[in-house]
Amino acid sequence: MARRYDPDRRQRIIDAAIAVVGERGIAGLSHRSVAAAADVPLGSTTYHFSTLDELLVAALRQVNGECLADFARWVDGLDPAVPLTDEVARFVEEALTGDRSRMQLEYELYLAALRREAVRPIAAECLDEMVRLLGQRIGDVPTARAVVALTDGLLLQHLLTGQPFDPASVRAGLAGVLG
C-alpha cells in the first residue's frame, strides 16, 4: 500500500493535541486521543512525537506563540502618557473578558510544566520573552518581571475563583507592587 502524502499531518496532530487539552485537560491527552481528534492513524502520532512530552512541548510552543503575539501587541500599544497600573489593569480586563476557554487552555499547558521537566523550559521561555518585551518598552526589567508575575497571578486567581474583575483593586495592587 502506498503511503499517503500528507504534509500537514504534523500540524494537525499539534492542533488536535491542543483541542484535546482544551476539552479534557492534560489528563485526557494521549497518543490515542490525539490520533482520533486529528483523524490520523495512531502510528502517526508516535512517529511525529515519540513521547507525550514531545507533543506537549510542540503544543505549548504553538500556544505560547499566539499568547506572545497578543502580549507584544499590547506592549506596542502602551501609551506612555497613561500610568502603567492603568495599562496593566486594561490588559487583565481584556484577557478576562476575552475567550475564557483559550485562557484556561493556556494555563493548562503552562501549568503542565510543574510536573513535566521537558515542558518547563518552554514555559520559562515564554515568561522570559514577556519580561523582555515589556522591559524594553518601559525601560525597567525588574519592574517588567514584577508586572508579568502579578498579571499571571491575577489572571490565574480570576480563572480559579470566578471572582468579578475589579479594575480599582488591580490598580491598587499594582501601585503597591510598582511603588
Class of domain 7-50: mainly alpha
Cell of 62: 504553538
pTM of structure: 0.87
Return the CATH superfamily for domain 54-178: Tetracycline Repressor, domain 2 (1.10.357.10)
Domain with CATH 1.10.357.10 in the chain: 54-178
pLDDT digits (tens, 9 = 90+) for 62-79: 999 999 999 999 999 999
Q: What HEC string does 105-117 produce?
A: HHHHHHHHCCCCC
d(CA 5, CA 26) in angstroms, rounded, equals: 30
At 141, the pLDDT band (50, 70, 90 cuts) reads very high
Long-range residue pairs from 159-168, CB within 8 A, at least 24 positions apart, any chain: 159/100, 159/103, 159/104, 159/107, 165/92, 165/93, 165/96, 165/97, 167/89, 167/90, 167/92, 167/93
Domain with CATH 1.10.10.60 in the chain: 7-50
* Residue 165: exposure state from Cβ atoms within 10 A (0-12, 13-18, ≥19): middle
pLDDT digits (tens, 9 = 90+) for 100-125: 888 888 889 888 988 899 999 999 99
